[in-house]
Amino acid sequence: MNTSIIENIQHEMQDFFTSDSTGHDWYHIDRVWKNAKRIARYYPEANHLHIELAALLHDRYDRKLVPDASQARQEVQQLLLQQGVEKDFIFRILYTIDAVSFKNGANPVQARSIEDKIVQDADRLDALGAIGIARTFAYSGAHHRPIYQGEEANSPADTAIAHFYDKLLTLQEKLHTPEAKEIAKGRHQFMLNYLEQFYAEWHSQK
């Protein structure tokens, strides 16, 4: 029964996130779902249905993606009710989703349960490494922002490279689970190497 709820929600999300060029396509959802399952394996005591549903639905009412976030949040509630999910359980899933979002590091809703923490870690892992770099440039391009403006740029420019410092390089230490931290290590180092190569090429030194 649980498998069919997960499959139904998976198909709903596949249909919803059909095409998006800002880094929020179905494949982002799919990777976050996979990351979450990968971490959850180490937590047999956690509620895995909760984790999988929150991972699948985590961007469904993001303010950046829908015109009316509170309406979209209600749609998620409806969707889960239709699947026969109990109200209390729905509220716990929605809490997890509310806690996941980054909001420039200023989200008032804190990750508290192990389910919240695993889904948040899973989402943050997808902002790191080669995939994270690709998503950053895709997002930046979609918002008509420059790649970089040189070290001499004195205005706090919203460039793709600035986003590494604003967010990407800060995520490693914000992760909750040791399993996610372990995965993040290689991805973090990859971004540092990337930046080093980027600056070297920028200055025609490599």
Binding site residues, ligand ADP, CB under 6 A: 23-24, 59, 64, 102, 123, 126-127, 132, 135-136, 139-140, 158, 160, 163, 167
Min CB(185)–Ni ion separation in Å: 21
Contacting Ni ion within 45-74 (CB under 5 A)? 59
Residue closer to ligand ADP, measured from CB, 89 or 195: 195
What per-residue string of b and e applies to 126-140 under the rule 16 or more CB within 10 Å gives b? bbbbebbbebbebbb
Number of Cβ within a 10 Å radius of residue 12: 18
Residue closer to ligand ADP, measured from CB, 144 or 204: 144
Q: Write the binding mask 83 to 122 for Ni ion: x where contact by CB under 5 A, - elsewhere.
A: ----------------------------------------
Q: Yes or no: say if 100 and 119 are a contact pair by the CB < 8 Å rule.
A: yes
CA distance 120 to 111: 8
Min CB(166)–Ni ion separation in Å: 17
- Binding residues for Ni ion, total number by CB under 5 A: 2
Residue closer to Ni ion, measured from CB, 59 or 115: 59
Element (H, E) at 9: helix 2-16
CA distance 102 to 111: 11
